[in-house]
Amino acid sequence: MSPESGEGPGLGAPAARVPAERPHEAVLPASTEPPVVQLRRLVGMLVAAVLLYTCYFAASLLLPILIAAFTAMLLNPLLRLLRRLWMPGWLAALLVVGGLVAALAGVGLLLYEPAMETARDLPREMRQVAPKLRQLVQPIEEASRVTDALQTIQTTRPDAPRQVEVVPARPTFTEVLSSSGETLAQVLAAMILVYFFLVFGEALLRRAVEIAPTLAQKRITVEIVRNIQSDMSRYMLTITIINLALGLTTAGVMWLLGMPSPLLWGAVAGLLNYAPYVGPVAAALVLAVAGLFHFDSLGAALLPSAAYLGLNAIEGQFLTPLLLGNSLSLNPVIILLWLMFWGWLWGIPGFLLGVPMLVCFKIICARIEGLQRWSAMLEK
């Protein structure tokens, strides 16, 4: 057998070729970070996991603190205005917090009647909305099972005994407060914390600057504190004014369209608008369902939701960029992922507090070396 035949091994058989590295192929370099840096990164990941674990199980403790902190940032401009009038800090804070409690109580009393009526009439209106839902199902799917299931809601057998609908008694405002003791305790704790944040917040921040070990860290702490105070106060005040205007405008439009309880729908729209993208979609769905309850034709039922989406588009595309500018603009994808995470962790409060927490995180990352790339990633 000759070596050239290639049919078996031999002394003259060519050696196996080792593929040479091509110069144009990029090779991922090995990590050159020292072990200390890798250890710090691992410790940071463990600390983050512990913090998230604590946020989940200590939600009842952390939520009043966060609500109080952001509310204090919202009321800080009004407090500074009263202190410029030579009013003592404790008295100015007492007036501001007292005004806030009175405003919240007034809004609660104003919305209590329509909210209770809507909750009481919901089962009956769900049965009446079945034919309108059938109009939506038929153009899309002609499955007989769906139409039969919807028809059985409206029809009863002739030989079946007649059922008497029992309307539950509407609870009083005092009964509602007494039945929600935990919520009332959290609201009371948040209001007390708001007062103490307004009175002693400046002193607490000064102590945080004093305990910084080096001059550079003191300077960074001062910058972070000042930016959080100024930017967050401006953000919270601007967003609250925008949402209040949106809620009042929505209430006016609902009144013009003939929707019952227009103030209730305006309050829902303004409150849900604190959660960008997710909140407006939820408000539009709620208004669509409410329209199906109260209007006969499908076009009239969907008109309140369409009108709200138009108002929200004007607010999101023109009003908010005009008042806030691009300094606090955030990436929409990051906002959605952030809201999904905190909504999963804390529910509705997580949706409402998610964006203020994200703004604070962006401000802190922009001032700390090593975290500035995170701040750049959060920008739009």
Find, among 134, 334, 324, the residue nearest to 240 by Cα: 324
Residue numbers of the chain with a pLDDT score lower than 50 = 1-13, 16, 18, 28, 30, 143, 146-147, 150, 153-168
Residues 6+ apart with CB under 8 A from 379: 329, 330, 331, 362
Q: Give the Cα separation of 123 and 34 in Å (integer).
A: 65
Q: How many CA atoms lie within 13 A of 249 on its CB side?
A: 15
CA distances 98 to 26, 85, 90, 92, 156, Å, are: 65, 18, 12, 10, 55
| Class of residue 227 by CB neighbours under 10 A (exposed 0-12, middle 13-18, buried 19+) | middle
**Sign of the C-alpha dihedral computed for residues 290, 293, 294 and 295 taken in this order:** positive
pLDDT on residue 43: 80
Q: Give the Cα separation of 132 and 154 in Å (integer).
A: 12
pLDDT on residue 29: 52
pLDDT on residue 190: 87
pLDDT on residue 217: 78
Whole-structure pTM value = 0.72
SS (HEC) of the chain: CCHHHCCCCCCCCCCCCCCCCCCCCCCCCCCCCCHHHHHHHHHHHHHHHHHHHHHHHCHHHHHHHHHHHHHHHHHHHHHHHHHHCCCCHHHHHHHHHHHHHHHHHHHHHHHHHHHHHHHHHHHHHHHHCHHHHHHHHHHHCCCHHHHHHHHHHHCCCCCCCCCCCCCCCCCCHHHHHHHCHHHHHHHHHHHHHHHHHHHHHHHHHHHHHHCCCCHHHHHHHHHHHHHHHHHHHHHHHHHHHHHHHHHHHHHHHHHHCCCCCHHHHHHHHHHHCCCCCHHHHHHHHHHHHHHHHHCCCHHHHHHHHHHHHHHHHHHHHHHHHHHHCCCCCCCHHHHHHHHHHHHHHHCHHHHHHHHHHHHHHHHHHHHCCCCHHHHHHHCC
Number of other CB atoms surrounding residue 43 within 10 Å: 10
pLDDT on residue 162: 46
Q: What is the largest CA-CA distance in the chain?
A: 110
CA distances 142 to 126, 133, 138, 148, Å, are: 22, 13, 5, 11
Domain parsing of the chain, residue ranges: 58-151+181-378
- 351 contacts 342 by C-beta, under 8 angstroms: yes
Q: How many CA atoms lie within 13 A of 220 on its CB side?
A: 15
Structure tokens at 86: 């030579």
Report phi then psi at 165, rounded to 5. -75, 125
Q: Give the Cα separation of 21 and 4 in Å (integer).
A: 28
pLDDT on residue 375: 81
